[in-house]
Amino acid sequence: MPGAGLIAPHAVPVGRFAPSPSGPLHFGSIVAAVGSCLSARHGGGRWLLRIEDVDAPRTVAGAADGILRTLERLGFEWDGPVLRQSGRTAAYRDAFERLRAGGSIFGCACTRREMADSALARDGTRRYPGTCRDGLPPGRVARAWRLRVAPGVVGFDDGVQGRVEEDVAADVGDFVLLRADGLFAYQLAVVVDDAAAGVTEVVRGADLLDSTARQIVLQRLLGYPTPAYAHLPVASNAAGEKLSKQTLARAVDGAEPARVLVDALDFLGQGPPAGLADGGTTAVWTWARANWSMARVPRRRAVPAPRYG
């Protein structure tokens, strides 16, 4: 049944932007910030900001503060305090223990090298072959802890990409929730944080489309509602690569703030009128809040943004 498992539309939408502080914001991140903010605000809702620093080794000192400054300069206004995942370990542990008590978690001894022959999942990670699922091989100890994924297709109706279905057990296999380095995995952190904050809509880049089914699996096991999802096209450079630190994408700080916002609106198919940037960020936000339409966002996973590549 289309839409099964989605929560009923809320009177007040709650959206969020959840950047990882691994470097300065580039144009692709601004697109996700603009889209998530306008979707929530256009519906009269709240928009939250969460710094996703759960992956401590990837966190760059000072990057979180830089992100907040960039967002302020662009005239973003978020509701409530900024949440940082680094302060949320107890909540992740609670959820993890709940899953473990329900028999959904098992210890895994496999090293990356031992899994190197395993097939690739859609997102480029290795599909877990199930080696430790029914118990650790003799003499081995658990390094990481995985979720036992039941077979079956998980589907959702994406606000931009349409119907999306994935068989998580077949495509990804039992995935890691507590990593060998003792950190909780992104998939668990996102699900726990979105539920705790009452997030009703997740608007983010299509690079995360392949994570969504895993997150829905976790929501169901933890008894959380499933938010509505909309995955925006990802900004790529002229070579078709997703803008990132690795592709040396320009930080947006060098550009004029109203211009960056208008470029993001244009990228998202909103058709901002000529000259809109001349009125500064306030004028851009006023126009954008009144005119936002998710239906106009291009249904593609990647769109070039050469100016910011």
In the complex, minimum distance from the CB of residue 82 to ligand GLU, in angstroms, rounded to a whole number: 14
Encoded one letter per residue, x for contact with ligand GLU by CB under 6 A and - for no contact, window 46-85 reads ------x---------------------------------
Taking CB under 6 A as the rule, does residue 226 contact ligand GLU? no
Binds ligand GLU (CB under 6 A): choice among 88, 143, 148, 204: 204
Q: Does 28 bind ligand GLU (CB under 6 A)?
A: no
The b/e string for 180-191 (b: 16+ C-beta within 10 A; e otherwise) is: eeebbbbbbbbb
Cα 142 from Cα 84, distance rounded (Å):
29
Interface with ligand GLU, residue 195, by CB under 6 A: no
Question: What is the sign, positive or negative, of the torsion defined by CA atoms of 109, 183, 26, 218?
Answer: positive
Distance CA 120, CA 211 (A): 14
Q: Does 237 bind ligand GLU (CB under 6 A)?
A: no
Minimum distance from CB of 277 to ligand GLU (Å)? 26
Output the smallest distance, CB 190 to ligand GLU, in A.
5
Our finding on whether 208 is near ligand GLU (CB under 6 A) is yes
The CA-to-CA distance between both ends of the chain, in Å, stands at 41
Please state the closest distance from residue 12 (CB atom) to ligand GLU, in A. Answer: 20
Separation CA 26–CA 19 (nearest Å): 11
Strand order across the beta sheet in which 176-178 lies: 105-108, 144-147, 176-178
Q: Which residues of the shown chain bind ligand GLU in the complex (CB under 6 A)? A: 18-20, 52, 190, 204, 208
